[in-house]
């Protein structure tokens, strides 16, 4: 799994090929256009994959198939185990749940001695 590291934290990511019309719910949390069974399908799939925050769409499994960021019709996507029918899908990037951790600074920070910075 890819890992994203910044100055203060690191976490692993995973890309999943999921229906394009789920984007508003996955990215913005807007479920106004979904009914309860659809929300249950989405939540079951996210729990099965052990993912956290959706970071958006990106090249990933769809790119390996030559799709890139665009949505394309496919029967082979990551929501099939929840009974989701074939449809237009896009690759979403998620934080892997529980992978977020703080990073120690790689260089020594300056110490202050009598008001003067020292190393």
Domain ranges of the chain: 3-118
**Alpha-carbon separation of residue 22 from 3, 28, 54, 80, 88 (angstroms):** 24, 10, 11, 14, 10
Any idea what DSSP says for residue 21? G
Is residue 62 over pLDDT 70?
A: no
* pTM of the full structure: 0.69
Three-state SS for 59? coil
CB 107 within 8 A of CB 79: no
Instruction: List CB contacts of 41: < 8 A, sequence separation 6 or more.
Output: 79, 82, 83, 84
- Between CA 67 and CA 4 the distance in angstroms is 23
pLDDT value for 35: 93
Query: If pLDDT is split at 50, 70 and 90, which confidence band does 90 have?
Result: confident
- What does the longest C-alpha to C-alpha distance in the chain come to? 69
pLDDT value for 60: 47
Is residue 111 over pLDDT 70?
A: no
């Amino acid at each position: 799994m890819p890992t994203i590291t910044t100055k203060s934290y690191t976490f692993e990511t995973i890309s999943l090929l999921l229906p394009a019309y789920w984007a508003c719910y996955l990215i913005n949390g807007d479920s106004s256009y979904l009914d309860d069974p659809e929300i249950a399908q989405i939540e079951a799939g996210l729990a099965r994959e052990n993912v956290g925050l959706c970071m958006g769409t990106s090249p990933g499994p769809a790119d390996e198939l030559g799709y890139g960021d665009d949505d394309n019709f496919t029967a082979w996507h990551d929501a099939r185990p929840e009974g989701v029918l074939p449809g237009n899908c896009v690759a979403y990037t998620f934080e892997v749940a529980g992978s977020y951790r703080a990073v120690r600074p790689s260089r020594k920070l300056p110490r202050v001695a009598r008001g003067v910075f020292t190393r």
